[in-house]
Amino acid sequence: MRNILLLTVILVLVGLGIFAYIKQNLNTDTLAQGSAVIVLKDTGFEPREVTVLEGATVTFVNQTLNPFWPASNLHPTHQLYPEFDPLHPLGPEEEWSFTFNEAGTYNFHDHIRAYFVGTIHVVK
Protein backbone atom coordinates (compact mmCIF):
# COMPACT_ATOMS: atom_id res chain seq x y z
CA MET A 1 0.00 0.00 0.00
CA ARG A 2 2.81 2.35 0.93
CA ASN A 3 4.65 1.46 -2.32
CA ILE A 4 1.57 2.29 -4.39
CA LEU A 5 1.32 5.68 -2.69
CA LEU A 6 5.02 6.33 -3.32
CA LEU A 7 4.68 5.22 -6.95
CA THR A 8 1.68 7.53 -7.42
CA VAL A 9 3.60 10.49 -6.00
CA ILE A 10 6.57 9.75 -8.28
CA LEU A 11 4.32 9.45 -11.35
CA VAL A 12 2.59 12.74 -10.56
CA LEU A 13 5.94 14.51 -10.10
CA VAL A 14 7.30 13.06 -13.37
CA GLY A 15 4.11 14.10 -15.14
CA LEU A 16 4.36 17.66 -13.79
CA GLY A 17 8.00 17.79 -14.86
CA ILE A 18 7.15 16.72 -18.41
CA PHE A 19 4.29 19.23 -18.54
CA ALA A 20 6.56 22.07 -17.33
CA TYR A 21 9.21 21.10 -19.88
CA ILE A 22 6.73 21.09 -22.78
CA LYS A 23 5.14 24.37 -21.66
CA GLN A 24 8.54 26.06 -21.42
CA ASN A 25 9.48 24.89 -24.89
CA LEU A 26 6.19 26.01 -26.40
CA ASN A 27 6.92 29.52 -25.10
CA THR A 28 10.36 29.53 -26.67
CA ASP A 29 10.48 30.28 -30.33
CA THR A 30 13.43 28.30 -31.58
CA LEU A 31 12.96 29.01 -35.31
CA ALA A 32 15.12 31.88 -36.50
CA GLN A 33 13.00 34.70 -37.87
CA GLY A 34 13.84 37.53 -40.25
CA SER A 35 12.16 39.99 -37.90
CA ALA A 36 10.33 39.86 -34.61
CA VAL A 37 7.99 41.85 -32.42
CA ILE A 38 8.35 41.75 -28.66
CA VAL A 39 5.50 43.22 -26.68
CA LEU A 40 5.82 44.50 -23.14
CA LYS A 41 2.66 43.68 -21.21
CA ASP A 42 1.93 44.15 -17.52
CA THR A 43 3.14 40.59 -17.01
CA GLY A 44 6.45 41.13 -18.84
CA PHE A 45 7.86 40.74 -22.32
CA GLU A 46 6.04 38.43 -24.77
CA PRO A 47 7.66 36.42 -26.10
CA ARG A 48 10.38 36.36 -23.53
CA GLU A 49 12.79 34.65 -25.85
CA VAL A 50 13.18 34.92 -29.62
CA THR A 51 15.66 33.65 -32.17
CA VAL A 52 16.30 35.86 -35.19
CA LEU A 53 18.68 35.83 -38.11
CA GLU A 54 21.65 38.15 -38.20
CA GLY A 55 20.47 41.45 -39.70
CA ALA A 56 16.93 41.03 -38.36
CA THR A 57 15.05 43.94 -36.90
CA VAL A 58 13.29 43.46 -33.59
CA THR A 59 10.51 45.88 -32.75
CA PHE A 60 9.65 46.50 -29.12
CA VAL A 61 6.04 47.48 -28.51
CA ASN A 62 4.70 48.83 -25.25
CA GLN A 63 1.22 47.65 -24.23
CA THR A 64 1.40 48.93 -20.68
CA LEU A 65 0.32 52.31 -19.38
CA ASN A 66 3.85 53.11 -18.23
CA PRO A 67 6.92 54.27 -20.13
CA PHE A 68 9.41 51.53 -20.97
CA TRP A 69 13.01 51.33 -22.04
CA PRO A 70 14.22 48.07 -23.58
CA ALA A 71 17.99 47.72 -23.39
CA SER A 72 20.70 45.08 -23.30
CA ASN A 73 22.05 43.80 -20.01
CA LEU A 74 23.70 44.48 -17.74
CA HIS A 75 21.48 46.91 -15.91
CA PRO A 76 22.13 49.78 -15.47
CA THR A 77 25.06 50.30 -17.89
CA HIS A 78 23.87 48.14 -20.86
CA GLN A 79 27.41 47.26 -21.88
CA LEU A 80 26.53 43.79 -23.21
CA TYR A 81 25.43 45.48 -26.46
CA PRO A 82 25.65 49.27 -25.92
CA GLU A 83 23.89 50.15 -29.20
CA PHE A 84 20.89 48.05 -28.12
CA ASP A 85 19.57 50.95 -26.05
CA PRO A 86 17.24 53.79 -27.13
CA LEU A 87 18.96 55.96 -24.46
CA HIS A 88 15.65 57.41 -23.27
CA PRO A 89 12.29 56.16 -22.04
CA LEU A 90 9.57 55.36 -24.58
CA GLY A 91 5.98 56.30 -23.89
CA PRO A 92 3.11 53.84 -23.56
CA GLU A 93 2.20 54.03 -27.24
CA GLU A 94 5.71 54.20 -28.61
CA GLU A 95 7.67 51.50 -30.37
CA TRP A 96 11.37 51.13 -30.83
CA SER A 97 13.19 48.95 -33.35
CA PHE A 98 16.72 47.68 -33.35
CA THR A 99 18.61 45.77 -36.04
CA PHE A 100 20.88 43.03 -34.76
CA ASN A 101 23.91 42.88 -37.02
CA GLU A 102 26.03 40.63 -34.84
CA ALA A 103 25.30 37.03 -33.95
CA GLY A 104 25.13 36.30 -30.27
CA THR A 105 22.82 35.89 -27.32
CA TYR A 106 21.62 39.12 -25.85
CA ASN A 107 19.78 39.26 -22.58
CA PHE A 108 17.77 42.41 -22.15
CA HIS A 109 15.47 44.10 -19.68
CA ASP A 110 13.18 47.07 -19.22
CA HIS A 111 15.49 49.73 -17.82
CA ILE A 112 12.58 51.24 -15.86
CA ARG A 113 11.30 47.97 -14.39
CA ALA A 114 14.42 45.85 -14.61
CA TYR A 115 12.59 42.74 -13.39
CA PHE A 116 11.04 42.47 -16.88
CA VAL A 117 13.64 40.49 -18.79
CA GLY A 118 14.08 38.57 -22.02
CA THR A 119 16.61 37.02 -24.38
CA ILE A 120 17.30 37.51 -28.07
CA HIS A 121 19.34 34.91 -29.88
CA VAL A 122 20.86 36.19 -33.12
CA VAL A 123 22.07 33.44 -35.41
CA LYS A 124 23.82 33.41 -38.81
Of the residues 15, 76, 82, 92, which one makes contact with Cu ion according to CB under 5 A: 76
Q: How many residues lie near Cu ion (CB under 5 A)?
A: 3
What is the DSSP track for 24-93? HHHSS--S-EEEEEEEEETTEEESSEEEEEEEEEEEEEE-SSS-B-EEESSTTT-TTSTTS--SS-B-TT
**Residue 50 touching Cu ion (CB under 5 A):** no
- Per-position x/- string for 98-117, each x denoting binding to Cu ion as judged by CB under 5 A, each - no binding: -------------x------
**Residue 48 touching Cu ion (CB under 5 A):** no
- Interface residues with Cu ion (CB under 5 A) are 75-76, 111
